[in-house]
Amino acid sequence: MKKFLFLFLVFFICQSVFSQNLTVTQFLNLSEKTVGEVDEMMTANNWYFYKATDETEDTFANTKYVFNQPDYKLGGPADYFITYYFSENTKAQAIEIIFLKQEFYESLNNQIKNLKFNLESSSTENGNIVKIYAHKRDIIKVTIPPNFDNYKTYKYQFMSKSSYKRMQ
């Protein structure tokens, strides 16, 4: 019961302070849903669909959402973007969130620790630090930009371990 109350409190704080309204647990659950199920959940939580890309031999299909901006124009500014990746060919799915706010980065990291994810590996990639966290059947890939970057965009990818192998 204490764990449930703590997770509810973390969710409430994230929702009220940072306005983006999904938790780490919800991202992990979404990473295993169909494109239709993802769209229904995103729409119900004030996320707006703005673009889809079909699967090719080289890339996964994806749908893209922006938070709380119903009139979003492609290429315009926003605080939060989500991309749902999926592949019929390789049976892989993942959710990626990109955002600018360091407070939300700290909130997600706290949730990851509270959910008992372990740091499995870390490296650098394109001038960023990349950390891979794992717990049971799930993987979270975190990309951290340099501190001096004026447009610091944090990126989190949520997926199952089997999808992670296919997404690489």
- Mean pLDDT, consecutive 10-residue stretches, the chain (168 aa), reads 45 46 92 93 94 92 93 88 90 91 93 98 96 97 84 90 85
Please give the helix or strand (H or E) that residue 110 lies within, else none: helix 102-114
The pLDDT assigned to 114 comes to: 97
> How confident is the model at residue 5, as a pLDDT?
42
Residue spans of the domains in the chain: they are: 2-167
Task: Note whether 81 and 157 are within 8 A (CB).
Answer: no
Count other Cβ atoms within 10 Å, centred on residue 93.
24
User: CA triplet 102, 28, 143: central angle to 5 degrees?
Assistant: 35
Task: Give the pLDDT confidence score for residue 88 in this predicted structure.
Answer: 84
Q: Note the pLDDT of residue 19.
A: 54
Distance (Å, rounded) from C-alpha 144 to C-alpha 125? Answer: 10
pLDDT of residue 11: 44
Query: Which pLDDT score, from 0 to 100, does residue 12 have?
Result: 44
User: Taking a C-beta distance cutoff of 8 angstroms, is the pair 84, 38 a contact?
Assistant: yes
The token pair at 157 is 């990818």
Phi-psi category of 20—alpha, beta or left, where left has phi over 0 and alpha has psi -120 to 50? beta
Phi and psi at 68, nearest 5°, equal: 60, 30
Sheet holding 128-135, edge to edge: 47-53, 61-67, 80-87, 92-99, 154-160, 138-144, 128-135, 118-125
Q: How far apart are the first and last CA of the chain?
A: 38
Report pLDDT for 149. Answer: 61
Comparing CA positions, the residue from 42, 112, 33, 44 lying closest to residue 82 is 42
Burial of 76 by CB count in 10 Å (0-12 exposed, 13-18 middle, 19+ buried)? exposed
